[in-house]
Amino acid sequence: MTVSFGVDIGGTKISAAYIVDEDVVVSDKRPYRRESLVDDIAGLYFELSKDKAPVEQIGICCAGLIDPLNGIVKFAGNLDLQNFPMAEQVREKTGVPVHLDNDARSALWGEFTFAKGSLGENLAGLILGTGVGGGLIIGGSLISGKNGFAGELGHLPVSNSNLKCACGMTGCLESVAGGRAFETNFHRKHGLEMSGQEIADLARAGDSRATEAFSELGLAVGEVIGQLDTAFDLDTVVIGGGFGSTFELWIDQAHKAYSAALVGAASRTKANILLGSLGQNAQILGAATLR
Ligand SMILES: [Zn+2]
């Protein structure tokens, strides 16, 4: 029996789960204060693990540039953290070893682990939320790279954008497919201030402005998938994140752009592109099981 505890730090709330083997025994989600983030995580840990078998590891994930080897948040704009030793601080409060990682990498790892081999050994993850996170699993291993930053797939360039991205570069996938950028672009083009989900509802109702916006998103996602498959010869591409729920509105366009950007498309088996099955739990389950 393996007992772990997963924590996902969002922009305003922390979500956590006490997990035995691969089952969530109990979970909760609550707001936190930035000044007391570590105490709030520890408080939730003590509450959910009370009178239960001892936890072997706490896995924490958040958006941003994370150094997983040293457990340091190098830079997380939405949490206002820089060079913050999160793993050490939470370990001091709880007495339990802590692994810290990026949320999108954790989400991909969660989907991979809980699929028990059915997704293959070579995967890319594109996690569509406020921005676009990513991750790569090659030969069954999550690729970390020299700094632990590998898998920032949302900042690969796409040919249908010359827009400025939040990262400072121009034409990134995130500048088309990130939820915040998608809303900004729609507002700029059509004068309508709507959330991504509202624009999705408009597209489902047949509005041509909204369907065109999702078509652009699909072309951008597909182009990046083509590049990734060309580079890594993938089994599966997992789409996740809250904005990933718009999948059915753009997947056909994504397949078109994917084939066009894939070398030798006619002579190979293409990767499966699918929506993750764990939803918002993916990153908590992944964070809890990453070592
Ligand atoms: Zn970018």
Whole-number pLDDT of residue 83: 97
pLDDT by residue (tens digit) across 214-223?
A: 999 999 999 9
How many angstroms does the Cα of residue 137 sit away from the middle of ligand 1? 21
State how far the Cα of 281 lies from the Cα of 113, in Å rounded to an integer.
13
How many angstroms does the Cα of residue 285 sit away from the middle of ligand 1? 27
State how far the Cα of 119 lies from the Cα of 236, in Å rounded to an integer.
6
Whole-number pLDDT of residue 79: 85
Whole-number pLDDT of residue 181: 96
How many angstroms does the Cα of residue 64 sit away from the middle of ligand 1? 12
Whole-number pLDDT of residue 291: 82
Whole-number pLDDT of residue 22: 81
- Going by pLDDT thresholds of 50, 70 and 90, the confidence category of residue 280 is confident
How many angstroms does the Cα of residue 2 sit away from the middle of ligand 1? 38
Cβ-based neighbours of 140, under 8 Å, separated by 6 or more? 121
> Which residues fall inside 5 Å of ion ligand 1, going by CB?
155, 165, 167, 169, 172, 174
Tokens of 146: 């020299």
Tokens of 156: 């690969």
How many angstroms does the Cα of residue 130 sit away from the middle of ligand 1? 12
pLDDT by residue (tens digit) across 152-211?
A: 999 999 999 999 998 899 999 999 999 999 999 999 999 999 999 999 999 999 999 999
State how far the Cα of 143 lies from the Cα of 158, in Å rounded to an integer.
23
How many angstroms does the Cα of residue 185 sit away from the middle of ligand 1? 15
How many angstroms does the Cα of residue 170 sit away from the middle of ligand 1? 7
How many angstroms does the Cα of residue 176 sit away from the middle of ligand 1? 10
- Going by pLDDT thresholds of 50, 70 and 90, the confidence category of residue 77 is confident
Q: State the DSSP string of the chain.
A: --EEEEEEE-SSEEEEEEEETTEEEEEEEEE--GGGHHHHHHHHHHHHHTTSPPPSEEEEEESSEEETTTTEEEEEGGGTEEEE-HHHHHHHHHSS-EEEEEHHHHHHHHHHHHTTTTT-S-EEEEEESSSEEEEEEETTEE---SSS-TT-GGGSB-TT--PBPTTS-BSBTHHHHSHHHHHHHHHHHH-----HHHHHHHHHTT-HHHHHHHHHHHHHHHHHHHHHHHHH--SEEEEESGGGGGGGGTHHHHHHHHHHTSTTGGGSPPPEEEE-SSGGGHHHHHHHH--
Whole-number pLDDT of residue 248: 98
Whole-number pLDDT of residue 12: 87
pLDDT by residue (tens digit) across 98-138?
A: 999 999 999 999 999 999 899 999 999 999 999 999 999 99
